[in-house]
């Protein structure tokens, strides 16, 4: 594309927030351009959600195959093929990227490959491989996302030090791995590489792993990790790098211990990609970390400029970014949409999986809400036992005053799928009684949610009553 062009909407960033925003704006009759400096689909599709889930699908299959004899099936030796696993990952991501490109084309959206910057007169200057072009925009949506955060303790130019992006490009499975941070990303990678035979030590500064999750979930996941051979060390951090080698790293811990491993993965969060967009010159309101401040309509402090996704902070999830993008797209095309974060399910694809939505027990206590907490174990569920995945539980957090479901935490088989039943219930304002009196198919995993709801009123069939003294 050459020369100046006029658009109703220009979207900067084609990740899981940006490309849905562009499509929705086009569906509402706008002339739309979208700018992307790397690959459409953003971090989620290319270096995050989809690649890790593709690798997890392979390692979960390996884990199941190793237990085949428990199910009466003889398979023989199981040998992971890392190059083939990585090739499948690339095929999946390439297919999905191609699908997004087709969607953009089908909706008449101009894709401009380059780096965008907003000028003082609220135009968008794009640095492309063929030079700089300028776009006129009625409205602008910033969807530039985030990148893995780095710690000054480590030299990321050293081959032994990795971010999550680096870990997805490894040409071999490391024999040993230190993971700094036990959040979602670190925990998922721990499951992937542990199954492939990597010896893993996971370090967490806080007093428990998965520190943003419910305390009961965190405690049981730590136990599960240890059974898988993953060494989880809480209240521990790296104080000093003692030695870098081409094929290893040696560090000193806050406990005084020394550790050496082939690779070290830093997974301590994300940094906001707001630099270089010209926002300071516009006087746009941001916090000290570079997070763009927006209102419920996703509009920034500068009229006509909206921001969505990781770059606005809050809930850093791909599906949150998508909904923020749809809200922004409605508003830049004359709508009046508002973002509501009351019901946002979150999933962690570890072994076992974790699904959560709404309040957990810790958050309820912080907010001073009187709640009933009801649980049901997968160990008492027929379908889970038949599957050989009877570890974990369903936990419902229920308003003690009116029985309304305020949140749920699920740890166990297909938790990432099951959590959506509770999400819909919460969206509709349902009570535990509503869930308990909804007939659930037998045998099925969702019965665990029904049983937890029944247990809230002492009516669970498959839970033994307390012994009488």
Question: Which residues form the catalytic set?
Answer: 442
User: Contacts by 455-460 with C-beta closer than 8 Å and gap 24+?
Assistant: 455/374, 455/375, 455/376, 456/372, 456/374, 456/396, 456/398, 456/403, 456/432, 457/432, 457/433, 460/376
Separation CA 177–CA 190 (nearest Å): 9
| Strands of 143-185, DSSP E | 146-148, 161-162, 176-180
End-to-end CA distance of the chain: 81
Among 358, 342, 357, 376, which Cα is nearest to 416's? 357
Spatial CB neighbours of 227, under 8 Å, sequence gap ≥ 6: none
**Angstrom distance (rounded) from CA 452 to CA 274:** 44
Query: Sign of dihedral through CA atoms 131, 132, 133, 137?
Result: positive
| Radius of gyration for the chain, computed over Cα atoms and rounded to the nearest angstrom | 24
Write down the H helix ranges in 255-317.
279-282
Residue 17 CA to residue 20 CA, distance in Å, equals: 6
Sheet holding 353-358, edge to edge: 346-348, 353-358, 405-412, 393-399, 371-377
């Amino acid at each position: 594309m050459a020369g100046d062009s006029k658009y109703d909407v220009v979207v900067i960033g084609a990740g899981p927030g940006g490309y849905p925003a562009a499509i929705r704006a086009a569906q509402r009759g706008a002339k739309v351009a979208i700018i992307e400096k790397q690959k459409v689909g953003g971090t989620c599709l290319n270096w995050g959600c989809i690649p890790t889930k593709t690798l997890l699908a392979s390692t979960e299959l390996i884990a199941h195959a190793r237990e085949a004899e428990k199910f009466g099936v003889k398979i023989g030796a199981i040998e992971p093929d890392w190059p083939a696993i990585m090739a499948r990952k690339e095929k999946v991501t390439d297919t999905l990227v191609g699908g997004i490109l087709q969607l953009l084309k089908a909706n008449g959206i101009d894709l401009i490959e380059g780096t965008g910057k907003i000028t003082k007169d609220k135009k968008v200057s794009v640095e492309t491989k063929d030079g700089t072009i300028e776009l006129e925009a009625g409205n602008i949506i910033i969807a530039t996302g985030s990148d893995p955060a780095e710690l000054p303790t480590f030299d990321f130019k050293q081959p032994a030090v990795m971010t999550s992006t680096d870990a997805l490009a490894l040409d071999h499975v490391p024999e040993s791995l230190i993971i700094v941070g036990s959040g979602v990303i670190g925990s998922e990678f721990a499951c992937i590489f542990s199954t492939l035979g990597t010896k893993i030590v996971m370090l967490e500064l806080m007093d428990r792993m998965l520190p943003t999750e419910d305390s009961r979930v965190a405690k049981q996941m730590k136990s599960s990790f240890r059974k898988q051979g993953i060494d989880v060390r809480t209240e521990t951090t790296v104080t000093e790098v003692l030695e870098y080698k081409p094929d290893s790293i040696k560090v000193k811990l806050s406990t005084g211990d020394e550790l050496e491993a082939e690779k070290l993965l830093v997974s301590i969060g994300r940094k906001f990609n707001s630099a270089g967009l010209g926002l300071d010159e516009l006087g746009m309101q941001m916090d000290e970390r570079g997070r763009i401040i927006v209102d419920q309509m996703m509009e920034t402090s500068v009229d006509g400029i909206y921001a969505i996704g990781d770059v606005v902070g809050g809930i850093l999830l791909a599906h949150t970014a998508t909904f923020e993008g749809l809200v922004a797209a409605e508003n830049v095309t004359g709508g009046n949409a508002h973002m509501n974060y009351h019901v946002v399910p979150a999933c962690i694809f570890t072994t076992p999986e974790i699904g959560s939505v709404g309040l957990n027990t810790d958050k309820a206590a912080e907010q001073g809400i009187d709640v009933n907490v009801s649980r049901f174990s997968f160990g008492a569920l027929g379908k889970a036992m038949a599957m050989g995945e009877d570890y974990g539980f369903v936990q419902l957090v229920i308003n003690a005053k009116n029985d309304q479901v305020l949140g749920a935490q699920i740890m166990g088989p297909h938790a990432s799928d099951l959590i959506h039943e509770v999400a819909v219930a919460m969206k509709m304002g349902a009570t535990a009684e509503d869930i308990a009196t909804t007939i659930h198919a037998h045998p099925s995993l969702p019965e665990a949610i029904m049983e937890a709801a029944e247990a809230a009123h002492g009516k669970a069939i498959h839970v033994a009553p307390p012994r009488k003294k």
